[in-house]
A = this chain, B = another copy of it.
Amino acid sequence: MVGEKVRSLKTAKAEKADIDAAVQLLLKLKVDFKQMTGQDYKAGCPPSENSCVSDSGPLTDAGKDDEDTVDPWNVSTTNAKGVDYDKLIVRFGSSKIDKELVDRIEKVSGQKPHRFLRRGIFFSHRDMHQVLDAYEKNKSFYLYTGRGPSSEAMHVGHLIPFIFTKWLQDVFDIPLVIQMTDDEKYLWKDLTLDECHYFAVENAKDIIACGFDVNKTFIFSDLDYMGSCPEFYRNVVKIQKHVTFNQVKGIFGFSDSDCIGKISFPAIQAAPSFSNSFPKIFGSKQDVPCLIPCAIDQDPYFRMTRDVAPRIGYPKPALLHSTFFPALQGAQTKMSASDANSSIFLTDTPKEIKSKINKHAFSGGKDTEEEHRKYGGNPDVDISFMYLTFFLEDDEKLEKIRQDYASGALLTGELKKILIETLQPMIAEHQERRKQVTDEAVKQFMTPRPLNFNLPA
């Protein structure tokens, strides 16, 4: 094409100097192009892998549209009701957790569905029906979830996947692995390896305080486990061989100036999805199905994992996705430990909890009591009401609160009081349980060892 241009200029009788200048500029662009990309420039042939599509929907940049941004590092929306989760299901190519699936979980487990299922807090899934099909045929599965330990301070939002995972462990009676990605936090944050590892152990105590069964649960720090399990590293390398930079660039938005640790990290979060990454638990079995309960922002990792799995001879993990836990200031962002005013921490005193909610929790109420009584409040944007949907177990009571708030019978101050009185004992009890987590218990949870469950034949 450069040749055509040059010929065309010549025909048009442009000055020779201009032709030369055009040729030089075009050649320079091509040289710089090659220098940057390592590839010869070909007009009309942009790189193809950038836009690869897998069976689980488009792999690339699915987490962003005009209104919402959702990826492992950013969650935000312009909508006060929060992210549009129905739209997210379409964009991510996952499936809605509908009434049929909730009913089926109730039937198979023989337990009343957890409030997170009843209320659409876990709202999306991949292949959950397959997991239940297998379970009904007496084929067990295992749970995998995780936490990025970037500080000592965990907040109530961090508990959501763990509360739900504990329920799944209890009702299905299955093993669970919990990955603490201290290596990831070292790569992404301005922290030392020792700090990240320390946070991993401290956070593990909060996770243990959720009540997991030590006989069925293995918690691991990547920094420890990579160096103590060759089978885990083998799976990491297998995954790394089957994912290109173009792919992680498309999925995670990495750029050429990102460090090579970030670029290869997704394989480390993918590896626990395959049962032979845990030989002490599953021996050499590589086909024990895996179910991953996590917040929807982690889905890019597992879209990649599901894309790779069949190419390395492993089953795809199934997923259950939760919504985000909103910040005190409103549902436009999720609760973030790096913004103390946006968060209720697991270490907060009853007084701090009361003060933060009264001061910061975004209200859907009207400006004056008179207006509120007359027009009613809006529970759909009210943070206190949203938090109650996460933590108040009684469905009828919750519905009455919703109606009373919407009608104006319940004032914002009264609603906040109900939330405060729900959270204060819940967090105090968590603190009490955490105090009882001994170093010995942490060591036990974090030691690779056989777990007590029946591996199907």
A residues whose Cβ falls under 8 Å from a Cβ of B: 1-2, 5, 8-9, 11-15, 18, 21-22, 25-26, 28-30, 32-33, 35-39, 41, 43, 46-47, 49-50, 183, 186-187, 193, 223-224, 226-234, 237-238, 240-246, 248-249, 253-261, 263-264, 266-267
Contact = CB atoms under 8 A, between A and B. Distances in A.
25 contacts: A13-B14, A14-B14, A26-B29, A29-B43, A33-B36, A36-B37, A36-B46, A38-B249, A39-B256, A187-B241, A223-B233, A224-B230, A226-B233, A227-B231, A227-B234, A228-B228, A240-B260, A241-B259, A242-B259, A244-B258, A245-B254, A245-B260, A246-B257, A261-B264, A263-B264
Contacts of A47: 35-36, 256-257
A226 B233 CA distance: 7
Given A186-B241, A240-B260, A243-B260, 15 more contacts: A2-B25, A5-B21, A11-B18, A14-B18, A25-B43, A35-B46, A36-B37, A47-B256, A187-B237, A223-B233, A240-B264, A245-B257, A248-B260, A249-B256, A263-B263
Given A25-B26, A257-B49, A259-B243, A230 B237 contact: no
B224 A227 contact: no
A13 to B, nearest CB: 8
A39 B254 CA distance: 10
Given A186-B241, A227-B228, A249-B38, A234 B193 contact: yes
Contact of A18 (B8, B46, B226): B8
A380 B38 CA distance: 36
Contacts of A28: 43
Contacts of A183: 233, 237
Nearest to A250: B35
Contacts of A35: 46-47, 50
Contacts of A8: 18, 21
Contact of A5 (B22, B41, B187, B264): B22
Contact of A43 (B5, B9, B32, B260): B32
Contacts of A226: 226-227, 230, 233
A257 B29 CA distance: 21
B12 A15 contact: yes
Contacts of A12: 14-15, 18
A272 to B, nearest CB: 15
Contact of A227 (B227, B263, B264): B227
A257 B247 CA distance: 8
Contacts of A18: 5, 8-9, 11-12, 14
Contacts of A26: 25-26, 29
B255 A260 contact: no
Contacts of A258: 244-245
Contact of A186 (B230, B237, B255): B237
Contact of A187 (B1, B9, B38, B240): B240
